[in-house]
Structure 1
Amino acid sequence: MPPDPPAPASWRIALPHSTAAVPIARALVRTALSDIDAPADSDTAELLTAELVANAVEHTVSSEPIELVVELLPTGCQVEVHDHDPAPPGDLSRPRPGFEVDPWQEHGRGLLLIRTLSSACGHRTTEHGKAVWFTLPAIPSQPGPSPES
């Protein structure tokens, strides 16, 4: 009988409800993806994580810590940001054809980045508020140089 596949690795950390949470979250995602054979694009994961954390800090009134959950899966990775505000985030649905973002607006592009660059995204209510999440697919491994005989 073949051995069971390894359980997915996951990290969960409480972050301060301040802008200091953004670089901490980026560092955690970078570290999580570098500790293994990177299942997803680290730069994209860091960018989208920063957007979710910044949104949680900016758009929730609670001073309670927010929580970052990073789960590495055989199919890629999933990142969730939990906050204590049950109100859903802005629109996480795919942009409709012809939709354009005003390039002169300071805000409003974070959720567009998440919708566009992730393979899936959404939100769900939790016991203490909500979780907003995205997934990224695994990067296919590139064949390396063959060893010489």
Structure 2
Amino acid sequence: MSITGPCAKNGLALQDRPSDSAASWRIALPHSAAAVPVARALVRTALAELEHGADSDTAELLTAELVANAVEHTAAGDAPIELVVELRPSGCQVEVHDPDPMPPGDLTRPSGREPDPWLEHGRGLVLIRALSSSCGHRPTDKGKAVWFRLAVVPPQWRPRPE
């Protein structure tokens, strides 16, 4: 696992961003299931430390889905999966980069069939479509990036700290 950019709190990499962006993190994750909890922790820590207004639970869930999909649906090898988290005044964007150029199926439009309630798999992209303010994918030089955005939750709708 490697982190790029100057060091920030808790060993996260905070990178210089344009003025319209509050902060950005980029981390290379192993191509294994171990990447999922690390990605969740990065998103949770980033949102908490900057007291950002995006919903942390939703961000963690959707990040876990993207990373798990990248691990499961791309060929294992030396190429790591890369997680990019951008916190902006309007919300957050999370991207997962993987070495497979093939777009994820049914991300930006429903497949027309309901997920089988008896299967453990098949709901990740449905969750991403349903819970994010937008989502998509784009080609990269080394494969693709799959992303989602969450808008800032208005303060009156946020849970109060106990």
What is the DSSP-based 3-state SS (H/G/I as helix, E as strand, rest coil) of the residue aligned with 1:142?
helix
What corresponds to 2:51 in structure 1?
37
Q: Find the aligned partners of 1:124 and 1:71 in 2 and give their Cα distance.
A: 16
**Residue 135 (structure 2) pairs with residue 135 (structure 1):** no
Given the two structures, how large is their TM-score scaled by the length of structure 1? Answer: 0.87
What corresponds to 1:78 in structure 2?
93
Q: Find the aligned partners of 1:19 and 1:90 in 2 and give their Cα distance.
A: 21
**Residue 30 (structure 2) pairs with residue 19 (structure 1):** no
Given the two structures, how large is their TM-score scaled by the length of structure 2? Answer: 0.80
- Do the aligned partners of 1:52 and 1:81 also contact (CA within 8 Å) in 2? yes
- Do the aligned partners of 1:62 and 1:85 also contact (CA within 8 Å) in 2? no
Give per-residue Cα distances to partners, 1:81-134, cap 9 Å, x unaligned: 0001101111112437x8532201221100000000000000000000000000
Q: Find the aligned partners of 2:128 and 2:21 in 1 and give their Cα distance.
A: 26
Q: Find the aligned partners of 1:140 and 1:24 in 2 and give their Cα distance.
A: 28
Give structure 2 stretches of 5+ with no counterpart.
1-18, 158-162
What corresponds to 2:69 in structure 1?
55
Quote how far apart the aligned CAs of 1:20 are.
0.4
- Give the aligned length: 139
Matches within 5 A, 1:112-127: 112-127=126-141
Amino acid at match of 2:58: T
Quote how far apart the aligned CAs of 1:75 are.
0.7
Task: Return the index of the structure with the highest Cα Rg.
Answer: 1
**Residue 63 (structure 2) pairs with residue 65 (structure 1):** no
Give structure 1 stretches of 5+ with no counterpart.
144-149
Amino acid at match of 2:46: A
What corresponds to 1:92 in structure 2?
107
Q: Find the aligned partners of 1:17 and 1:53 in 2 and give their Cα distance.
A: 9
1 or 2 for the larger relative contact order (CA 8 Å, sep ≥6)?
1
Q: Find the aligned partners of 2:20 and 2:134 in 1 and give their Cα distance.
A: 24
For the aligned residue pairs, the C-alpha RMSD in angstroms reads 1.9
Quote how far apart the aligned CAs of 1:6 are.
6.3
